[in-house]
A and B are shown apart, each in its own frame.
Chain A
Amino acid sequence: MKDEPVAKNTLTKLASAFIRKEPFGLVLIIAPWNYPLNLTLVPLVGALAAGNCVVLKPSEISKAAEKVLAEVLPQYLDQSCFAVVLGGPQETGQLLEHKFDYILFTGSPRVGRIVMTAAAKHLTPVTLELGGKNPCYVDDNCDPQTVANRVAWFRYFNAGQTCVAPDYILCSPETQERLLPALQSAIARFYGDDPQSSPNLGRIINQKQFQRLRALLGCGRVAIGGQSDESQRYIAPTVLVDVRETEPVMQEEIFGPILPIVNVRSLDEAIDFINRREKPLALYAFSNSSQVVNQMLDRTSSGSFGGNEGFIYMTLPSLPLGGVGNSGMGRYQGKFSFDTFSHHRSCLLSHAGLEKLNEIRYPPYTAWSQQLLSWALASRSCTLL
């Protein structure tokens, strides 16, 4: 909350110059269903710390979490400054007609556009945490089991319903051949021979998502998994191969426990493939060669980047969470949340007196005063003082 003092120049040496953090006012947080507590409460922490009043709109799709947030959470906060509002797309549209002083939205790019358009009517600044297809490049030079462990864990966690999960693999056919048995092995190790009975594998949030994902199982060819159980909204940890770029599984964000493998013949081809598409929220590269990892990092763009790792960086408050391009704008987490939900006000407090010092800036100007003022203003003069 502290004022941040800033450097001054010749003309302002005797003043007090600083940046003051102020709350925006009324903040709206619209949260999704996949991590219904994390993606609601972590932004809330920042908004509250920054001194705002907050309206929370949890997802109506994660019904149980919504209930707890609506009924229990307000009891712990000052309800004159905090409210939970409920509803579906229609109610949210109505809510967005109102003026807010800041909106943080987590969800799809399609709805992100709707939110930003509504915000534009009131000149409300926004942070949009959206999504995309997060590429996962696997180099020929790697240990397949290590890669398979790491990729599988991050792909199938929460039944794949994670905005920063690896969405698809890019690798050569040779590496694919080494990866498949390793992925099979990792899946069996993590979830047992009957993954449906594992306590560590999630379920799909609702029928609509389940049906959508089940349809994707028809793309390419099932190399691992492929089973589903409608009564439980269960989809087995699945790997698809022989997938074409035009198939639905490569056209939309998967958001489920399905991992397609797309073949490329080189790092360059992988980079071109990635750069032809929308900038993703996350990008992953696995290689024993740090040169390869750095090439991928240098020649692409994404919200965030993981080398030989999945989204473990989400546990680091020192690294902000945010997208770029179609995957979003703005960022939060840790101090970045506080800064996101604060207006940074530039302040300069001068002396009420000492008017003699100001004389030089008033017209009419003499040649001498012009020269002095120009000199004082030019940054090159600062080094002499």
Chain B
Amino acid sequence: MSGKGSKGAAEDPGSEPTLGMDPFEDTLRRLREAFSSGRTRPAEFRAEQLRGLGRFLQDNKQLLQDALAQDLHKSAFESDISELILCQNEVDLALGNLQAWMKDEPVAKNTLTKLASAFIRKEPFGLVLIIAPWNYPLNLTLVPLVGALAAGNCVVLKPSEISKAAEKVLAEVLPQYLDQSCFAVVLGGPQETGQLLEHKFDYILFTGSPRVGRIVMTAAAKHLTPVTLELGGKNPCYVDDNCDPQTVANRVAWFRYFNAGQTCVAPDYILCSPETQERLLPALQSAIARFYGDDPQSSPNLGRIINQKQFQRLRALLGCGRVAIGGQSDESQRYIAPTVLVDVRETEPVMQEEIFGPILPIVNVRSLDEAIDFINRREKPLALYAFSNSSQVVNQMLDRTSSGSFGGNEGFIYMTLPSLPLGGVGNSGMGRYQGKFSFDTFSHHRSCLLSHAGLEKLNEIRYPPYTAWSQQLLSWALASRSCTLL
């Protein structure tokens, strides 16, 4: 059980964990001690960790691209634009703003506190746990990590065991670039993660399914650990009659089939009228052929399904409704063709679970109102998209629904903007991160008021016994309406 990080039963898959032996105890204790010593508090320490992370990304670019190619059949370019460049941006942003973010924030005072110093102090929580998924195994691990480190926490990273190549790089190479007294990677499957969650953490950020999100929050509740849960759902994509079909098809197809559809914020299904469907189908066909060629299976720009389990699940969904485009699959490569399904009923499996694959069902609605009702009858999604030439229509959709985020005439390009936080609502999650929002998420905001040790005469007014006069004065001073006179 010694060595880099704590590997639990993952290192010896044949054995059961020994009763009473906790593979994480030592690691967690070591990190807690380091935190208590104050190691992670100074800005210089945190900056050094962030620079280390930056060097990890630069030194190992090829290794990381290879890992993503192995896990998800991602091209080097797609790895760059969806993972590596975004991670580097986060590191740069944090390094450039660390001092500003760490600064005490002065706040407005009232009559009673005019002579005091009032501010909000950002403090690390302590020991942070980040549980990451397999679909963007670097991005969704390292972007949260940037925030947790910048905020001065000690961090335990639990990468997904499903994206094995990325897991290996994160477990074996990344720790070499960070101070290992304050950082650890732990490995394992659901059972080990359950064991890990029995321990007390000071913050947990989890990215994954709503089902597991509940498990994480329930475990966190035992220790009163605050959480950010980045979950999922079925992201609706409304296409108005008033639109240019080819433009819409280009945008929707690109965001749907990127990473073979394994994106939590990808458009999950289309809502449109039968007339618009007729215009969209040839446009989608055209976009797919343009992007991936006549034989998409040989395109370097189309990913593969992560594993057999997901592949089988997706292949079963191909039986829903009717295949209008694509529908081919190849088990030996875990390949599924960019597919569009029509004549899909709401009760079919493809409309019951998050698809997370390169399959795009179209559901017919007769009006914007019907689309909005359809959406609002279901769980709040992580993302919602509306395509229309009319900004009024787009704004109607925005005003009358709720979702983690919203894209008008656009897909999830907003993910490249650190100024827009990434977070869900309702079943799609709680809390948010990215850019400064990560730093704030992983910090406790402590309200501070520092008064003078002296000047006691000024306080006399607040002590009992009260006279009618002192009561009046104190009430007046306290009421916010009095502030404008000073």
A325, B224: Cβ atoms under 8 Å? yes
Known contacts: A146-B454, A303-B447. The answer to whether A364 contacts B218 by CB under 8 A is no
Q: How far is the CA of A301 from the CA of B127 in the complex (A)?
A: 14
Question: Contact check: which of B80, B221, B402 meets A343 at CB < 8 Å?
Answer: B402
Question: Contact check: which of B36, B250, B465 meets A358 at CB < 8 Å?
Answer: B250
Question: Contact check: which of A25, A315, A361 meets B112 at CB < 8 Å?
Answer: A315
Residues of B within 8 A of A125 (CB): 430-431
Q: Annotate B418-444 by CB proximity to A: 1 below 8 A, 0 otherwise.
A: 111111011101111000000000001
Q: Which residue among B422, B429, B450 has the maximum number of chain A CB atoms within 10 Å of its CB?
A: B450
Q: How far is the CA of A2 from the CA of B421 in the complex (A)?
A: 17
Residues of A within 8 A of B299 (CB): 363-364
Q: Which residue among A145, A293, A307, A374 has the maximum number of chain B CB atoms within 10 Å of its CB?
A: A307
Residues of A within 8 A of B16 (CB): none
Distance in angstroms from B220 CB to nearest chain A CB is 7
Distance in angstroms from B467 CB to nearest chain A CB is 12
Question: Contact check: which of A119, A324, A358 meets B446 at CB < 8 Å?
Answer: A324
A316, B416: Cβ atoms under 8 Å? no
Chain B CB within 8 A of A212 CB: no
Q: Annotate B89-110 by CB proximity to A: 1 below 8 A, 0 otherwise.
A: 1001100000000000001111
Residues of A within 8 A of B451 (CB): 306-309, 312
Chain B CB within 8 A of A27 CB: no
Chain A CB within 8 A of B403 CB: yes
Chain B CB within 8 A of A321 CB: yes
Chain B CB within 8 A of A362 CB: yes
Residues of A within 8 A of B202 (CB): 325
Residues of A within 8 A of B403 (CB): 345
Which residue on chain B has the smallest CB distance to residue A361?
B254
Distance in angstroms from B406 CB to nearest chain A CB is 5
Q: How far is the CA of A316 from the CA of B451 in the complex (A)?
A: 14
Chain B CB within 8 A of A170 CB: no
B85, A374: Cβ atoms under 8 Å? yes
A319, B120: Cβ atoms under 8 Å? yes
Q: Annotate B37-73 by CB proximity to A: 1 below 8 A, 0 otherwise.
A: 0100100000000000000000000000000000000
B448, A346: Cβ atoms under 8 Å? no
B398, A20: Cβ atoms under 8 Å? yes
Known contacts: A123-B229, A352-B244. The answer to whether A287 contacts B120 by CB under 8 A is no
Chain B CB within 8 A of A128 CB: yes
Known contacts: A120-B214, A348-B407, A362-B254. The answer to whether A297 contacts B426 by CB under 8 A is no
Residues of B within 8 A of A303 (CB): 446-447
B463, A189: Cβ atoms under 8 Å? yes
Known contacts: A347-B405, A355-B244, A358-B250. The answer to whether A316 contacts B118 by CB under 8 A is yes
Q: How far is the CA of A363 from the CA of B202 in the complex (A)?
A: 43
Q: Which of A225-233, A244-252, A327-335 contacts B (4 or more CB under 8 A)?
A: A327-335
Chain A CB within 8 A of B86 CB: yes
Chain B CB within 8 A of A211 CB: no
Known contacts: A344-B421, A350-B408, A377-B86. The answer to whether A363 contacts B301 by CB under 8 A is yes
Interface range on chain B (Cβ under 8 Å from partner): 35 or more
Residues of B within 8 A of A329 (CB): 224, 226
Known contacts: A130-B224, A355-B250. The answer to whether A286 contacts B453 by CB under 8 A is yes
Distance in angstroms from B310 CB to nearest chain A CB is 23
Residues of B within 8 A of A380 (CB): 92
Residues of B within 8 A of A373 (CB): 81
Q: How far is the CA of A84 from the CA of B102 in the complex (A)?
A: 42
Chain A CB within 8 A of B464 CB: yes
A142, B453: Cβ atoms under 8 Å? yes
A319, B85: Cβ atoms under 8 Å? no
A353, B112: Cβ atoms under 8 Å? no
- Majority secondary structure, B binding face: mixed
Residues of A within 8 A of B432 (CB): 344
Residues of B within 8 A of A325 (CB): 125-126, 202, 224
Residues of B within 8 A of A123 (CB): 210, 213-214, 217, 229, 231, 426-427, 429-430
Chain B CB within 8 A of A275 CB: yes
B107, A319: Cβ atoms under 8 Å? yes
Residues of B within 8 A of A24 (CB): 425-426
Distance in angstroms from A210 CB to nearest chain B CB is 22
Known contacts: A149-B456, A301-B123, A353-B247. The answer to whether A318 contacts B109 by CB under 8 A is yes
Residues of A within 8 A of B481 (CB): none
Q: How far is the CA of A330 from the CA of B228 in the complex (A)?
A: 12
Distance in angstroms from A6 CB to nearest chain B CB is 4
Q: Annotate A272-311 by CB proximity to B: 1 below 8 A, 0 otherwise.
A: 0001000000000011101001000111011111111100
A348, B217: Cβ atoms under 8 Å? no
B456, A146: Cβ atoms under 8 Å? yes
Chain A CB within 8 A of B332 CB: no
Q: How far is the CA of A318 from the CA of B92 in the complex (A)?
A: 31
Distance in angstroms from B236 CB to nearest chain A CB is 14
Distance in angstroms from A286 CB to nearest chain B CB is 7
Distance in angstroms from A21 CB to nearest chain B CB is 11
Q: Which residue among A8, A123, A142, A275 has the maximum number of chain B CB atoms within 10 Å of its CB?
A: A123
Q: How far is the CA of A287 from the CA of B406 in the complex (A)?
A: 52
B217, A119: Cβ atoms under 8 Å? yes
Q: How far is the CA of A370 from the CA of B301 in the complex (A)?
A: 12
A17, B254: Cβ atoms under 8 Å? no
B88, A378: Cβ atoms under 8 Å? yes
Residues of A within 8 A of B462 (CB): 153
Chain B CB within 8 A of A253 CB: no
Known contacts: A120-B218, A123-B213, A130-B224. The answer to whether A6 contacts B450 by CB under 8 A is no
Q: How far is the CA of A192 from the CA of B463 in the complex (A)?
A: 12
Residues of B within 8 A of A11 (CB): 413, 416
Q: How far is the CA of A312 from the CA of B477 in the complex (A)?
A: 13
Distance in angstroms from A134 CB to nearest chain B CB is 13
Question: Contact check: which of B36, B77, B113 meets A370 at CB < 8 Å?
Answer: B77
A365, B77: Cβ atoms under 8 Å? yes
Chain A CB within 8 A of B409 CB: yes
A200, B465: Cβ atoms under 8 Å? yes
Which residue on chain A has the smallest CB distance to residue B96?
A379
Chain A CB within 8 A of B177 CB: no
CB pairs A–B below 8 angstroms (17 shown)? A7-B419, A17-B420, A123-B214, A130-B224, A286-B453, A290-B450, A306-B448, A313-B449, A316-B110, A319-B118, A345-B402, A349-B408, A362-B254, A364-B301, A374-B77, A374-B85, A377-B85
Instruction: Report the 9 A-B pairs with minimum CB-CB distance, sorted nearest first.
Output: A349-B408, A307-B450, A120-B217, A116-B221, A318-B107, A6-B419, A200-B464, A309-B451, A350-B410
